[in-house]
Structure formats: C-alpha cells, structure tokens
C-alpha cells in the first residue's frame, strides 16, 4: 500500500475524481481529542468486525496517532480486497505539525 506524508496526501487527493474516505483507527478517546474533518472512527480492534461500513470501491486513507496502527489497518483492508488504500505516514501528529497546526496534538 502507499504511504504518504501529510503534504503528499494533500497533493494526491487533489488528483482524485472523488474525495477519499478517511478511516481513523485510533481509540474513541483519541478521536474525541482531534481528527480530520469527515473522518470515520473504527478503532483498530473493531476493524475486522466493522470493515463493511467502508466503501471498498472508493479510496481509503487510514489514520492513527503516528502511523503504525493505520499501517496495520491499511494492510488488512488491502487483504480484504479494497481497491485503493493509503496510509497517512506519521499519523494525525504529523498532520498537525506539517499540514494543519490548528489540529491539537497530544
């Protein structure tokens, strides 16, 4: 799967025909602290039971705190046949540092 840092992600999504889905696999308490707009929260531990809530025909960007859990989620989704899966390298923390300093860090 592709791994994109925040600035690469911004460029990549500009070239898409439709907006990607943002799948945040952090725990609910983490998601409550900060998130990308329009992202959905399915904690990694629940993904195997809930991945049918994600449209497998649309691009999916997996997000977590630093990019490790989301890497596991992206690998799982690819294994399940999702067409285009991207991991946000560095996670929401890198996003806050490099793309949107208004996003709180923790």
- The DSSP symbol for 51 reads G
First to last CA, the chain: 27
9, containing H or E segment: helix 6-14
Residue 14 to residue 35: CA distance in whole angstroms:
20
Residue 72 CB burial class (10 angstroms; 0-12, 13-18, ≥19): middle
Residue with the two structure tokens 């409550």: 32
Which of 9, 23, 61, 64 is catalytic? The answer is 64
Q: Is 34 a catalytic residue?
A: no
Give the residue numbers marked as catalytic: 64
């Amino acid at each position: 799967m592709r791994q994109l840092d925040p600035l690469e992600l911004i460029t990549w999504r500009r070239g898409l025909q439709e907006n990607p889905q943002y799948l945040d696999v952090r725990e609910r308490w983490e998601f409550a602290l900060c998130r990308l707009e329009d992202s959905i929260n399915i904690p990694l531990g629940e993904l195997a039971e809930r991945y049918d809530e994600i449209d497998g025909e649309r691009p999916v960007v997996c997000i977590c705190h630093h990019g490790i859990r989301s890497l596991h989620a992206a690998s799982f989704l690819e294994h399940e046949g999702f067409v285009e899966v991207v991991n946000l390298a560095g996670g929401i923390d890198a996003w806050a540092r490099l793309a949107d300093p208004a996003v709180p860090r923790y």
